[in-house]
Structure 1
Amino acid sequence: MAISSTVSSDGSELTIAIKGRFDFSSHQDFRGTYENLPTKPSRYVIDMSDTAYLDSSALGMLLLLRDHAGGDNASIQIKNTSTDVKRILTISNFEQLFSIE
């Protein structure tokens, strides 16, 4: 499991890449990518191209990010999901809360 993040040059977008398993062991690393930034981004991108698995705690972490980013006004895109990961997000009705590609 590895979580990395990149902030755009103007600070408006944060991309978080999740590799391997996205579960409770990722909690601190995931929160660390967005909580202590000098400027709060207006857009967030979660790149799951290398995410092999996610569980209910990962879903909770995505919801915490959504709250941090502004709740209903948050701009969060989840992209590059595998078929299995997308199925979990769909079953959980996350397409109602996030933009999923």
Structure 2
Amino acid sequence: MIIKTIPYNTQEMLQILRIRAQTEGIYIDDEALVHLSEIGSKTTLRYAVQLLSPAMQLARVNQCSTIDLKVLREVNELFFDAKQSARVLAEHNSKYMK
């Protein structure tokens, strides 16, 4: 059986991420949520969802109760999605793969 799927658009991703954040009790401002949906559109929804927890932890370390754009950008720089990881490994394969 073949089931065709289509990728979520940015607006759909924004709604999914908003629901996920609410479900997990994570507070994220609108600007950061829009940016997170754009990240998800360029990478995957899974990667965007996975950024929510470390972003909330970083916000708490910064003594904030809400994820803002600055926190989200910082967390996005700390982690790689699957495609970025594969690219880094390929570029530096002599350091990692023997």
Q: TM over 0.5: same fold?
A: no
Whose helix fraction is larger, Structure 1's or Structure 2's? 2
Whose strand fraction is larger, Structure 1's or Structure 2's? 1
Give the structure-2-normalised TM-score. 0.27
Give the structure-1-normalised TM-score. 0.26
